[in-house]
């Protein structure tokens, strides 16, 4: 899974006097098993893999009813050569808030605008272990009752202070079409979003959620000493939106706050914090069912939980 989620293994390159080359922030400086990355490595297990002949293409239908129609002769290698023979394909779908946390895909843009998701997908094609690119679009249908005006976003992350810049960036400002079709799993008529993807990797079908500036405020959490971005991760979970926001600790100010003080007053939320204590040792902090008020601030209290208990709690969202 390290090639999919790189939350804690992005190299940080520095060239200042005697410090030259690349430093792997978490693995080289801090024991890997005590970093938050070890939690994600253990819980991200929902990828589906299948193979097909490049000349024939393929259709894949997930258990949740998402449909991928992969056309014939759709892939090229790094040199632009058309691929023939068998292709190995990996697919992940993240349709609800619990999986947004498990796969660490918070719904926010690089400018800290909140998004609501109708579906996050990961697509990867390889042949003999080498990554391939698309030259023909993959048609995707995601069942959804969400009627918001959705756009297509791509994921990006870079290692910078306060921990990592992570965000969805707009791929296309064209509204994603709604459509109706028959679910191959159930033979029932369903509706949702239809799109043609010209790229692989992480993509998201999202709507902008904009609030008036006067309805935004700070939201900060207070942690005990020793709880930081290396071993702890926190999420704000919206009750009425299919949306999860990660709130990192700013090491310069020793604050753990909602990005850019953009927390929307009046929204009902829960907050979850997960801490890796050591190998197979975890703590969980949770604030449940509260309404964001002006200058929201809370102390986060933690208790020991097993990995299975944490997953059971996340599954409630």
Q: What is the CATH number of the domain that holds 301?
A: 2.60.40
Q: 219 and 137, same structural domain?
A: no
Q: 190 and 64, same structural domain?
A: yes
Q: Are 158 and 10 in contact (CB under 8 A)?
A: yes
Residue 48 has pLDDT above 70, yes or no: yes
Domain count, the chain: 2
Q: 142 and 275, same structural domain?
A: no
Whether residue 72 is contained in a domain is answered as: yes
- What is residue 99's predicted lDDT score, i.e. its pLDDT? 97
| Domain boundary, last residue among 179, 209, 239 | 209
What is the Cα–Cα distance from 51 to 59, expressed in whole angstroms?
11
Q: 220 and 204, same structural domain?
A: no
- Cα–Cα separations (whole angstroms), residue 208 to 92, 112, 215, 266: 23, 11, 16, 18
Query: For 171-191, how does the pLDDT look when each residue is reduced to its tens digit (9 = 90+)?
Result: 999 999 999 999 999 999 999
Residue 17 has pLDDT above 50, yes or no: no
Whether residue 198 is contained in a domain is answered as: yes
Q: 226 and 203, same structural domain?
A: no
Q: Hey, which bits of 71-113 come out as E strands?
A: 75-76, 86-94
Q: Are 86 and 53 in contact (CB under 8 A)?
A: yes
Average per-residue pLDDT for the chain: 88
Give the CA dihedral 195, 200, 201, 206, nearest 10 degrees.
Answer: -10
Whether residue 115 is contained in a domain is answered as: yes
Comparing CA positions, the residue from 225, 221, 210, 227 lying closest to residue 290 is 221
Q: Quote the domain boundaries for residue 283.
A: 213-314
- What is residue 44's predicted lDDT score, i.e. its pLDDT? 94
Q: 218 and 154, same structural domain?
A: no
- Residues whose CB is less than 8 angstroms from the CB of residue 41 and which lie 6 or more positions away in sequence, other chains included: 1, 2
Q: 217 and 69, same structural domain?
A: no
Query: For 260-297, how does the pLDDT look when each residue is reduced to its tens digit (9 = 90+)?
Result: 899 999 999 999 999 999 888 999 999 999 999 999 99
Whether residue 33 is contained in a domain is answered as: no
Q: Which helix H or strand E contains 30, and what residues bound it? A: none
What is the Cα–Cα distance from 314 to 97, expressed in whole angstroms?
8
Q: Which residues pair with 155 in a beta bridge?
A: 168
Average pLDDT over residues 4-11: 38
CATH number at residue 74: 2.60.220
What is the Cα–Cα distance from 196 to 236, expressed in whole angstroms?
31
Q: Which residues pair with 203 in a beta bridge?
A: 121, 154
Name the phi and psi angles at 21, rounded to 5: 95, -160
Average pLDDT over residues 77-88: 97
Whether residue 86 is contained in a domain is answered as: yes
Q: 199 and 74, same structural domain?
A: yes
Residue 23 has pLDDT above 50, yes or no: no
| Domain boundary, last residue among 190, 209, 228 | 209
Q: Which helix H or strand E contains 287, and what residues bound it? A: strand 281-291
Q: 223 and 168, same structural domain?
A: no
How many other C-beta atoms are found inside a 10 Å radius of the C-beta of residue 68? Answer: 20
Whether residue 303 is contained in a domain is answered as: yes
| Domain boundary, last residue among 209, 224, 259 | 209
Whether residue 7 is contained in a domain is answered as: no
Average pLDDT over residues 42-71: 96
Q: 179 and 123, same structural domain?
A: yes
* 3-state SS class at 39: helix
Q: 153 and 63, same structural domain?
A: yes
Cα torsion 197, 199, 205, 210: sign: negative
Q: Which residues pair with 237 in a beta bridge?
A: 244, 270
Residue 14 has pLDDT above 60, yes or no: no
Whether residue 25 is contained in a domain is answered as: no
- What is residue 250's predicted lDDT score, i.e. its pLDDT? 74
Residue 214 has pLDDT above 60, yes or no: yes
Q: 101 and 199, same structural domain?
A: yes
């Amino acid at each position: 899974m390290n090639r999919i989620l790189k939350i804690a293994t992005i190299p940080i390159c520095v060239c200042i006097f005697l410090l030259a080359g690349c430093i792997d922030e978490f693995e080289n400086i801090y024991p890997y098993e005590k970093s938050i990355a070890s939690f994600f490595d253990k819980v991200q297990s929902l990828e589906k893999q299948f193979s097909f002949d490049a000349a024939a293409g393929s259709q894949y239908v997930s258990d949740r009813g998402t449909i991928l129609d992969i056309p014939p002769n759709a892939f090229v290698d790094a040199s632009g050569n058309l691929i023939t023979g068998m292709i190995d394909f990996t697919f992940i779908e993240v349709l609800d808030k619990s999986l947004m946390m498990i796969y660490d895909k918070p719904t926010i843009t690089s400018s800290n605008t909140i998004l609501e998701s109708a579906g996050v997908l990961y697509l990867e094609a390889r042949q003999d272990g080498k990554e391939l690119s698309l030259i023909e679009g993959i048609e995707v249908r995601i069942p959804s009752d969400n009627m918001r005006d959705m756009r297509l976003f791509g994921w990006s992350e870079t290692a910078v202070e306060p921990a990592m810049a992570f965000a969805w960036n707009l791929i296309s400002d064209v509204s994603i079409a709604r459509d109706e079709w028959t679910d191959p799993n159930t033979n029932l008529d369903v509706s949702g979003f239809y799109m043609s993807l010209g790229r692989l990797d992480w993509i998201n079908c999202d709507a902008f959620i904009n609030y008036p500036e006067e309805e935004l405020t700070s939201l900060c959490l207070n942690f005990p000493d020793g709880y930081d971005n290396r071993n702890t991760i926190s999420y704000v979970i919206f009750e009425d939106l299919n949306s999860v926001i990660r709130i990192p600790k700013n090491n310069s100010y020793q604050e753990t706050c909602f990005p850019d003080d953009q927390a929307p007053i009046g929204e009902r939320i829960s907050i979850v914090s997960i801490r890796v204590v050591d190998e197979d040792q975890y703590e969980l902090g949770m604030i449940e069912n509260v309404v964001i008020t002006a200058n929201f601030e809370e102390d986060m209290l933690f208790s020991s939980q097993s990995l299975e208990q944490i997953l059971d709690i996340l599954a409630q969202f």
